[in-house]
Amino acid sequence: MDNEHSPHHPLLPATHEQYPATGKSSAIVSIAKWILKSAMWVIFLVWILVIFLYPSSLTTQLFNNWVEATQQSLFGLTGAIFLTFSAPLLAIAIIAAVYLIISRDDEPYKKKIKEKPRWRLWTLPVLVEGPFEVVTAAEFVGILVVLGYVFWALYCYTLRMLAADYFRHSTFKELSAVVLEVMGVRLGSIGLFCLGFLFLPISRGSILLRLIDIPFEHATRYHVWLGHLTMIIFTLHSLAFVIVWSIEGRLLQQLMEWKDVGIANLPGVISILAGLLMWITSLPKLRTKNFELFFYTHQLYIIFVVFLALHVGDFVFTIAAGGIFIFMLDRFLRFIQSRTTVDVISAKALPCGTVELVLSKPKSLRYNALSFIFLQVRELSLLEWHPFSVSSSPLEGEDRLAILIKVLGKWTERLRGKILNDKAKQISSEKHSPVMTVSVEGPYGHESPYHLMYENLILVAGGIGISPFLAILSDVLHRIRDGKACLPKKILVVWAIKTSDELSLLSTLNVDSICPFFADILNIDISIYVTRQSQPPSEGEIQGSKVTSICPLSKGSNMSVLVGTGDNVWSGLYVIFSTLGLVILVGLMDFFYINPFHIIKWWYKGLLFLLCMVASVVLFGGLVVALWSLWEQYISSKRTSDHNNDIENVDQESPKHSFAQKDLNSNALATSTTIEYGLRPNFEEILGSVSENWGKVDIGVLICGPSTLQSSVAKAIRSHNMGRRSHHPIFHFHSHSFDL
C-alpha cells in the first residue's frame, strides 16, 4: 500500500479484545440446550395448533369443556383463557431466557464450513417486487401461514353459521342483521389473535427476537404487515356492527353504550378510532412526507390498548395479553435506558454532508458490527428518536461506539447546523463550551454477527448505506490482526453514490493502521459507481477535506447497559420475575378483591387486569432492573481506572485524512479499487462474473440502501440461484436496511 496516500487518522484507536475466547460447550450444556430447545418447539407447535383449530366446532366444544372445568378455580374464566392463549408465549420467553444464558459463549462463526453450498429459506428471495418488496422463502411461508389461518377461520365460522338456525323465520332484513352481527363477532376474535402477535416484532430487545435471531430492522416489516392485516380485520369488525345498528335504527344509541356486563361499545369506538389514526398516518406516502406526524400519532397505541381492554373485558383481553406483555417488558426497559444522558466524545461534520458521532459506552455493553442504535439529541427535540447503524467495530474501542449520519431531513440538518454553529462560536469566544445532550436506546441488531459466517462476502451499499459495511470491514481486519476467529477471505464492496463528494466517507476507515498485512489473508475489492457525474472532477472541483470537529460538553455518562440485548442473566431474570409478578398480582387481586366482593363489571375487570400487567413490570421487573443497575455500578467500580480520552479539537485539512480522487485510484484502501462515472451497477453482470471466478461456494450478499437497490440485487440473486450450474455459488440475500 502506498504510505504517502494512506489515511493516518483512524476512526477509533484499537484496544484490547472485547470478547474472550471460549471453549466448546460441555456435554451437559449441550444436552440442556437440546432439552430446552425441544421444550420450546413442543410448546410452540401445540400453541399454534390450538389457535388454528380453535375456530372449528370440535375444538370450540373442547375449549368450552376446559373453561367449565376451571370455572371454580381462583383465576376462573380469565385464567383458563390466559393459560390457553397467552401463557404458552410467556413460557417460551422464560425458557428462551435460560437458553440464551447457557448459550452466551457460543460463537457460531467458528463452526466448520460445509464443503458444499447450501440453500437457506431465510436468505433465498422469492418475491422481489410488489407491496411486500423483497420477501425470502421463509417469510413467504410465514405470510401464507398467517393468511391461511385467517381464511381457515372465516371458513369454519361460515360453516358453523350455516349450520345454525339463523335462516328460520326471519325476514331478509333480520337475517342480514344476524349474519353481520355474528361475522362481526368472529372477525373481532380473529383480530385479537392477530393483535397478540402484532406487538412482538416491535419489542426491540425481546428475548423472543434474540432467540430466533431476527433483528429489529427485519421485525419492523413483520409489524407493518401484521398491522395492515389487523386493522383491516378490526375495521371490518366495526363496520359490520355499524351496519347492523343502522339497520335496526339505533346506531347512535349503540355507539354511546357502555355496558357493565357484556361488551362496552363506547370504549371500542375510541379504540378503533385511535387505531385508524395510527394506520392512516403509517401509510408509506404519509409516513415519508411527515415522519413527525406518524411518530406522534403512533403513541396512540396506549389509548388503543387501554380502551380495547375496557371494550372486551378481562377474559377476552387475555387472548392478546401475552404479546402485549412482552412489549411492555421491552418498553419499560427502553424507558429506563433512555433516561441516561450519554457522553459525546466527539462530533464531526464531514465535507460530504455527513455527521460522525463517537459516543461513550461501558465496556460491558456488547454489540457487533451489524448493530444499530436509536438516538435522541435533546437540544433538537425532546421526543424524536432516530435509528442509525453503527459504523465502528466492537474491537476498535471497548469504551466507545461510532455512528455516521447522513443529512437528509430537518432533524439531521439541524444536527449538522448545531455542530457548525457551536464550532463557530467556539472559535469566536474561548469561553463558549458546546453542549450536546444525547440519549441512546440500544444497541440492537442480530444476535450473531452473520458477516463472520461466510468465507465470501459481497457488500452492496447505496450512499450512507456504506456505514455498517465500514464497521464490517473494520471488524474483519481487527480480527485478522488479533488472530481471532474470522471466516471471510474474499470481500467485494459495491458502492453506488450520487456524487464524488461522498467518497470522503471512506476516510473514517484506516486500513493501514488496523492491519497492514491483511492482503496476505484477505482479498478486498471495491467497485464504486458515481451515478450523477459523467466524469471525474477536475483538480479545482475536488472538495477540500476540511472536517469540523467539536468535543461537546455532554454532562452525561456511558450508555446504560439496561437493554434487552445486554447481559443475558439479568435480562432473563427481568422476564422471569415480571411474569411471576403478573401471576402473583392477578392471583392476589382475585383472592382479596374480585371474588370476595363479586366484581362483575367486564370493563372494570379488564382495566384491573391491565393495571396488574403494568404493575408487575414496574414493581417486580423494576426491582430486577434496580439490582441490575447496582450490579453494573459495582462491576464498573472494580474495573481499572478510566483512561482520559481527550480528542483534540482540530479542523484537519490533510489529504492523508480524506481520500481524494488520486488516493482511491492508487488503491489506498484495498488491493483493487475501481470507480465508474455515469453508470449504475449491473448486478446481473457482477454476480455472473463472481459466479465464474469464485466457484462453488456460499456467498453472503449484504445490502444496505433504498428499496429499489434491494429489489435490483434480490432479482439478480434469484435469477442466478434459479439458473445456477453445478460449479456456481449460491448467493444468500441479507438486508440490512429498514424504514420506520
Q: Quickly state the pLDDT bin for 549 (edges 50, 70, 90).
A: low
Among residues of the chain, what percentage have pLDDT more than 90?
A: 42
Residue 286 CA, distance from chain mean position: 22
Strand intervals (E) in 17-155: 125-127, 135-136
The per-residue pLDDT for 242 is: 95
- Residue 661 pLDDT: 39
- The amino acid present at 326, given as its one-letter code, is I
Average pLDDT of every residue of the chain:
83
Mean pLDDT of 420-432: 74
Q: Please report the pLDDT score of residue 110 as a whole number.
A: 55
pLDDT value at residue 266: 96
Which single residue is written with the C-alpha cell 435509528?
A: 387
Across-strand partners of 390?
Answer: 403
Given a cut of 70, whether residue 25 has pLDDT beyond it is: no
pLDDT of 627 above 80:
yes
Q: Where are the domains of the chain?
A: 27-336+567-630, 341-536
pLDDT, position 553: 60
Q: What number is the average pLDDT over the span 661-686?
A: 69
Mean pLDDT of 577-601: 94
**Rounded CA separation 365/665 (Å):** 39
Q: Which pLDDT tens digit goes with each residue over 215-240? A: 777 888 899 999 999 999 999 999 99
Does the pLDDT value for residue 272 go beyond 50? yes
Q: Are strands 698-704 and 456-462 parallel, antiparallel or unpaired?
A: parallel
Strand 490-497 to strand 523-530: parallel, antiparallel, or no bridges (unpaired)?
parallel
Query: Omega before 443 cis (within 30°)?
Result: yes
Phi-psi region of 355 (alpha: psi -120 to 50; beta: other; left: phi over 0): beta
How many other C-beta atoms lie within 10 A of the C-beta of residue 527?
A: 17
Answer with the residue of higher pLDDT: 672 or 439: 439
Cα–Cα distance for residue pair 583/298, rounded to 1 Å: 29
CA distances, 209 to each of 95, 96, 214 (Å): 13, 10, 5
Lowest mean pLDDT among 68-82, 380-394, 499-513: 499-513
Task: Please state the rounded mean pLDDT for residues 185-203.
Answer: 94
Residue 653 has pLDDT above 50, yes or no: no
| Integer Cα distance of 190 and 607 in angstroms | 22
Structure confidence at residue 668 (pLDDT): 41
402 vs 420: CA distance, rounded Å = 19
Q: What is the pLDDT of residue 550?
A: 66
pLDDT tens-digit map of 242-256? 999 999 889 999 999
| % of the chain beyond a pLDDT of 70 | 86
476 is written with which cell numbers?
474483519
pLDDT per residue over 117-166, tens digit each? 888 888 999 998 888 889 999 999 999 999 999 999 999 999 888 887 76
Nine-digit cell string for 125? 428471495
CA 453 to each of CA 24, 92, 430, 468: distance values in angstroms, whole numbers, following the listed order: 17, 27, 51, 16
State the average pLDDT over residues 576-599. Answer: 94
Q: Which three cell numbers stand for residue 389?
A: 447503524
CA distances from 460 to 84, 404, 628, 686 (A): 45, 17, 40, 11
Whether the pLDDT of residue 13 is over 60: the answer is no
CA of residue 251 relative to chain centroid, distance: 42
pLDDT score at 27:
84
Which pLDDT score, from 0 to 100, does residue 197 have?
95
Residue type for position 694: W
Q: How many CA atoms lie within 13 A of 388 on its CB side?
A: 26
562 CA to centre of own chain? 17
Residues 6+ away with beta carbon under 8 Å from 171: none
Model confidence at 65: pLDDT above 50: yes
What integer pLDDT is reported at residue 14 of this predicted model?
Answer: 35
Phi, psi dihedral angles at 136 (to 5 degrees): -80, 170
Q: Which residues contact 143 (CB under 8 A, 6 or more apart)?
A: 132, 135, 225
Residue 106, pLDDT score:
58
In the predicted structure, residue 75 carries a pLDDT above the cut 90: no
pLDDT of residue 552: 66
Residue 339 pLDDT grade (very low, low, confident, very high; cuts 50, 70, 90): confident
570 close to 624: Cβ distance less than 8 angstroms = yes
Please name which of 390, 472, 446 lies closest in space to residue 565, comparing C-alpha atoms.
446
pLDDT one-digit tens code per residue, 276-296: 999 999 998 888 788 778 888
444 pLDDT higher than 70: yes
Least confident of 73-82, 200-209, 346-355: 346-355
Q: Which pLDDT score is estimated for 479?
A: 87
pLDDT at 166: 66
Q: Is 494 helix (H, G, I), strand (E, B) or coil?
A: strand
pLDDT given at position 648: 42
Nearest to 325 by CA among 128, 503, 574: 574
For 409, residues 6+ apart whose C-beta sits below 8 A from its C-beta are 291
Judge whether 400 and 12 are in contact, CB under 8 Å. Answer: yes
pLDDT at 646 > cutoff 50: no
Each residue of 464-512: pLDDT tens digit? 889 889 888 888 888 888 888 888 899 999 999 988 888 888 877 777 6
Query: pLDDT tens for residues 398-418?
Result: 788 889 888 887 888 888 888
Per-residue pLDDT band for 740 (boundaries 50, 70, 90) equals: low
Q: What is the pTM of this model?
A: 0.86
Spelled out in words, what is the top-level CATH class assigned to the domain 341-536?
mainly beta
- Using alpha carbons, list the distances in angstroms from residue 670 to 231, 381, 456, 523, 524: 50, 40, 16, 8, 6
Instruction: Report residue 11's pLDDT band, with 50, 70 and 90 as the boundaries.
Output: very low
- Furthest CA-CA distance within the chain: 95
